[in-house]
Amino acid sequence: MTRPTVHEYASLSDDAKQALFKRSEADISSFMAKVEPIIEAVRTEGDAALVRFARELDKADVKPGGLKVTEAEFDAAFSMVDQEVIDAITFAIDNIRRFHEEQKPEAMWLKEIRPGAFAGDRFTPIRSVALYVPRGKGSFPSVTMMTAVPGVVAGVPDLAIVTPPAPDGSVDAATLVAARIAGVETVYKAGGAQAVAAVAFGTETIRPALKIVGPGSPFVVAAKRLLSGILDTGLPAGPSESVIFADDTIDGGLAALDLLIEAEHGPDSSAYLVTHSRRVADEAIAALPDLWSKMTAQRVEFSKTVLTGKAGGIVLTSSLEESYEFVNGYAPEHLEILSRDPFRHLGKITEASEILLGTHTPCSIANFGLGPNAVLPTSRWARTYGPLSVTDFVKRSSIGYVTASGYPDFAKAAFTLANYEGFSSHALAVSAERDRFLPKD
């Protein structure tokens, strides 16, 4: 019987506790070395490099001139996808759009700070954003929905998807369906580090973008880091990770069921069940064999690799306080709070990107269309980043407007501080010299 790794949290040293927090892509130096020549090839060779890497790295037959998905391919996708799947995509996109419409900031606000002086913010869409949709261990129309909808809601005029092609050179049909329903019809057949380089530099086919968003493999993460001086690489979204927090009010089998959700993404994922209840831990361990028997072989292999390795399993704490400590230290991408009274624990959790409450809100529902975005920061970046949102697709400009009546008080303060800091032209601009050049009423 395969058993998950059980970490007795209270008995671990500080170093051992910190080791539990380490993600698979935390040290990507080896990937960066591999990615550097890929980036340089795309920069210098353009489309030719993308076609070559599609063949060599993705084992995909992409023809020169065939990097962009055609309208005919979009149309064909709808005939290839079951209506039930199309309906599910439509349902999810409607929920995601409603959520992000509510999230959208007002275009501009301006308030009177003091009499005759106004200040505020204006939000305008970023001109061009690339949406990365992975495909390495499956097909992800859900990522298409989560990246495309907020971009469309924000009003980005140039949205384009980059996604790895299949061996026959096609793009996943459901991904194309989701893209069109969301409102994006520019899709390129490129993935991995080469796709990030393509949208950074542009090629004969792929237009350069100002920003890229979306999760990816360590190769994608490495390329984003290397190109961060050229391209806004957005929030850090790497391989999937989750924490299932369970108190002693729930069945451990339910905790095991939800523990498997993110663990099945791939061997580079991370997934923990954290509980202070040995009963819950034992019930979870007992439930896993039956649950694994109901999964596909590849996903079982991924899941077992994660849960028996160094980045997954069961964290058995000695108290609720220790469970809170682990969750906040781990700062997970996905957090479920399994409890009959989840709000009891919510106030104790400060470091998590997505917090799903109660026994009827598994990660599955959030991943596939509850509304909040499921593109989330990984590798403890939840401590400073939030989920992908409409605000990731807009930029903020500060607005200031001072009237003639409001000017004197501000000029006096600015003159004093400018002189104190030694900036003579700053002071001169708000001195009596200004009066010489102002229009006379």
pLDDT at 30: 86
φ, ψ of residue 150 to 5 degrees: the values are -65, -30
Q: What is the mean pLDDT of residues 151-164?
A: 98
pLDDT tens digits along 255-275: 999 999 999 988 889 999 999
Measured distance CA(335)–CA(255) in Å, rounded: 12
**Dihedral-angle region of residue 83 (phi above 0 means left; psi in -120 to 50 means alpha; beta otherwise):** alpha
Given a cut of 80, whether residue 138 has pLDDT beyond it is no
Look up residue 237 and give its two tokens.
Answer: 């979204």
pLDDT at 313: 97
pLDDT at 137: 61
How are strands ordered across the β-sheet holding 108-114? Answer: 108-114, 117-125, 394-402
Return the active site residues: 333-334
pLDDT tens digits along 358-370: 999 999 999 999 9
φ, ψ of residue 401 to 5 degrees: the values are -150, 115
Measured distance CA(139)–CA(131) in Å, rounded: 15
pLDDT band at 83 (very low <50, low <70, confident <90, very high): very high
pLDDT at 135: 85
Beta-strand (E) ranges in 164-214? 187-189, 211-213
pLDDT band at 140 (very low <50, low <70, confident <90, very high): confident
pLDDT band at 239 (very low <50, low <70, confident <90, very high): confident
Q: What is the mean pLDDT of residues 182-200?
A: 97
Q: Are strands 108-114 and 6-8 parallel, antiparallel or unpaired?
A: unpaired
Q: What angle do CA 137, 140, 141 make, to 5 degrees?
A: 165
pLDDT band at 328 (very low <50, low <70, confident <90, very high): very high
> Please, are residues 244 and 274 in contact by the beta-carbon 8 Å criterion?
yes
Measured distance CA(25)–CA(400) in Å, rounded: 43
Given a cut of 90, whether residue 37 has pLDDT beyond it is yes
Given a cut of 90, whether residue 440 has pLDDT beyond it is no
Look up residue 222 and give its two tokens.
Answer: 């490495």
Q: What is the mean pLDDT of residues 304-331?
A: 96
User: What mean pLDDT, rounded, does the chain reach?
Assistant: 95
Given a cut of 80, whether residue 42 has pLDDT beyond it is yes
Q: Are strands 354-357 and 334-338 parallel, antiparallel or unpaired?
A: parallel
pLDDT at 14: 93
pLDDT at 25: 56
The percentage of residues in the chain with a pLDDT greater than 70, rounded to a whole number, is 98
DSSP 215-242: ---HHHHHHHHHTTTTSB--S---S-EE
Range with lowest mean pLDDT among 116-125, 213-222, 292-301, 388-397: 213-222
pLDDT tens digits along 380-434: 999 999 999 999 999 999 999 999 999 999 999 999 999 999 999 999 999 999 9
Q: What angle do helix axes 83-103 and 141-154 make, rounded to 10 degrees?
A: 40
What residue has token string 């308030």? 111
